[in-house]
Structure 1
Amino acid sequence: MKCVQFESVGEPADVLQTGERAVSSPKHGEVRVRMLASPLNPSDLMFVRGTYGVTPALPQIPGFEGVGVVEESGGGLRGKLFMGKRVAVLNKSGGNWAEYAVVPADQVIPLSKSLSLEQAATFFVNPATAWIMTQEVLKVPPGAWLLQTAAGSSLGRMVIRLGKSLGFRTLNVVRNPDQASELEAAGATAVVVFDAARGTQEDFRAAVRQVLGDDPLQHAIDPVGGNTGSAVLQCLSHSARMLVFGTLSEQPIQISPRTLMTNNVKVEGFWLGNFMESKGLLFKLKLVRRITQLINDGVLASEIADRFSLDQVREAVQAVEQPNRAGKSLIVMAPSSS
């Protein structure tokens, strides 16, 4: 089979290459999926660089998310149930940037035929993360404020649309002032421009308080870390919760023990793969139905910027890392009609 792989960690454009591998047979409890498409997510690029939370087993095929068709089962109830079905593939070990992927059957979930190939390929990492963090974990109620950093990202824009749809208010932090009016037009309740390399935590706290007034800030999500995540912590109200789900700055968050002690603030890590692994099939099927409806309604739909073949992976990763780029890039293994 044709696949994308890397033999050493490093810059994706330098170490990724297209090659050939034998197609593996699934063991008991596994399925073999003929892959149709897989997006290029920030986690994939961090994985290639060796900075993600999963260590590559070199030589390694990247790709944590994607869509495909189950063509072979190694045995087990789920494998038999999913035979011939189009499924989302949440591949915890990586391996979706290939014509075939062999994964545990509990890492694939059947998808509705109403979803396009593009929306099926991007079904989980952003849409599920946006829904689960805000509604399953934080349970942000209507009228409450949710602060999010990196709000101009694809996931950030989904959270804005979700807030508008469900009635919670979003306070959105961006570095680029040009994004402020764009996000407000998309439904953001408020936007704060903050660059941790230039501004201070006091500046940030003042800007946030100017927006909130006397309203409490009980909920926050942060994929950045570093000084930005640390600044968010200083703005949280008593008994607030903050979910950390990324390390875009590659810098640690600085937490004063007294902040945790006196304000009873809770800082928690969120990893989609761990959350999904803790849930049963019934929860997953209900989640899929809910997210499918929200995607079809446009609330959690992914904007697709461009498509590349497996042979074009270096061009794909270069395109993804262009600044202020909107939309997802896909690696497509099969025609869009699949």
Structure 2
Amino acid sequence: MRAALFDQPGDPAEVLHVRDIEKPVPRRGEVLVRMIASPVNPSDLMFIRGVYGLKPKLPATPGFEGVGVVEGTGGGLLGFLRKGKRVAVLNDGRGNWGEYTVTTARQVIPVSADIPDAQAATFFVNPMTAVALTQDVLAIPPGSWLLQTAAAGALGKMIVRLGRKFGFRTINIVRRPEQVDELKALGADAVFTTNDDLAERVKAATGGVGVPFIVDPVGGELASRVLSCLAPGGRMVLYGSLADKPLRIDSRSLLSGGQRIEGFWLGHWVKQQRVLRMLKLIRQVRSLMREGVLTTESVEEFPLDRVREAVARAATPGKGGKVLLRLSGP
């Protein structure tokens, strides 16, 4: 089989290469999946650079999520039930950027034919993070304010649509002025750019009290700036580190205001949930995907042998959608 690999961390467009390797053999509790497509997520690029929370065991194949067909099993009831089914694939072990992969049977979810490949390939990371953050971790009540950074990204747009669906209001921070109207058209209540005086604009929008909830995938200077927008007793959840810079915290403000800063990593959160909650979440994501609330816009597809072009395109600012690797036919 053919797969994308890197032998050392570095610039994805330079260190990735495609070569023939042995097709993996599933062990008990695992399934063999013929991959159809996989997105190029920011977490994948960080993984290749060696700056993600999971460190690669070199040589490594990237790709944390995707869609494929289960063609084999190493044994176990769940693997047997998944055999022959088209599934969304979560993979934090072997990687999905190859013609075949192996993962645990618990990490593949059957998807119906009415969900296109591009949506099924992005079933886990962004949709589940958006729902888990807003409905579980923060449990944002209707009418309340949520501020988010990187709002023009795929996950940010999902949170805007979830706000319209469940009745919470969103303040959205973007980098470029042209993204303001785009988010307002989706239903964003307020959109500011990183060039604005964020503390003043947010206080004006919220009647001077600030926001009770903030979610941020960036970190660094931007996360430090929006922290000043947090209302007394508010919570800020960091779910990424795109800036790869530390957060500056005014401890006196946190102490006097009773505010909280916490981290969220979907992989860790999922492992802490009960089976019934995960089944409910999966059904919820499927339903919201069908409604168009959790849809992912795709900007371009690349075959596996053009993986370097794919990662370079994915790293382009303002590309307007998700880049997909097409790994095999349906």
Residue identity opposite 2:319 in structure 1: R
Residue from 282, 285, 288 that aligns with 2:282: 288
1:14 is aligned to: 14
Of residues 245, 268, 279 in structure 1, which corresponds to 2:239?
245
Tell me which residue corresponds to 2:5: 5
TM-fit CA distance, 1:272: 0.9
Pairwise mapping of residues 21-32 of structure 1 onto structure 2 (< 5 A)? 21-32=21-32
**Structure 2 unaligned residues grouped into runs of 5+:** none
| Equivalent position SS for 1:136 | helix
Matched residue type, 2:253 = T
Q: Is the 8 A contact 1:5 1:19 kept in 2?
A: yes
**CA shift digits 1:121-160 (9 cap, x unpaired):** 0111111111111111111111100000011111111111
Partner of 1:297: 291
87-96 vs 54-63, greater mean Cα deviation: 87-96
Identity of aligned residues (%): 49
CA deviation string 1:46-82 (max 9, x = no partner):
1111111111111000000111111222122321221
Give the partner amino acid of 2:80.
K
CA contact (8 A) 1:13 1:314 kept: yes
Judge conservation of contact 2:48–2:62 (CA < 8 Å) in 1: yes
Contact 1:6 1:17 (8 Å CA) reproduced: yes
Does the 8 Å contact 2:31/2:71 carry over to 1? Answer: yes
Report the secondary structure of 2:146's partner residue. Answer: strand
Aligned partner of 1:152 in structure 2 is 152
The match for 1:105 is 105
* Distance in 1, Cα, partners of 2:109 & 2:60: 24
Corresponding residue SS for 2:22 = coil
Say whether the 8 Å CA contact 1:126–1:154 is kept in structure 2: yes
What are the within-5 Å matches in structure 2 for residues 138-287 of structure 1? 138-195=138-195, 203-287=197-281
1:94 is displaced (CA, Å) by 5.0
1:86 to partner: Cα distance: 1.6
CA distance in 2, matches of 1:267, 1:258: 14
Aligned-residue offset at 1:12:
0.6
Distance 1:124 1:252 in 2: 27
- 1:14 aligned counterpart, secondary structure: helix
1:182-232 superposed Cα distances (whole Å, 9 cap, x missing partner):
21122110011114xxx7xxx321121121114551111001111111112
Q: Which position in structure 2 is the counterpart of 1:48?
A: 48
Partner residue in 2 for 1:115: 115
Are 1:77 and 2:77 counterparts? yes
Which residue number in structure 2 is paired with residue 128 of structure 1? Answer: 128
Q: Is the 8 A contact 1:90 1:273 kept in 2?
A: no
How many residues align? The count is 330
Q: Is the 8 A contact 1:111 1:288 kept in 2?
A: no
Q: What's the offset of the Cα at 1:303?
A: 0.6
1:332 matched to 2:326: yes
| Kept after mapping to 2: 8 A contact 1:64/1:95 | yes
Task: Give the distance between the partners of 2:315 and 2:225, measured in 1 at CA.
Answer: 26
CA distance in 2, matches of 1:80, 1:4: 28
The aligned amino acid for 2:271 is: E
Q: CA deviation at 1:114?
A: 2.1
Counterpart residue type for residue 245 of structure 2: Q
Runs of 4+ in 1 over 4 A off after TM superposition: none
RMSD of the alignment, in Å? 1.4
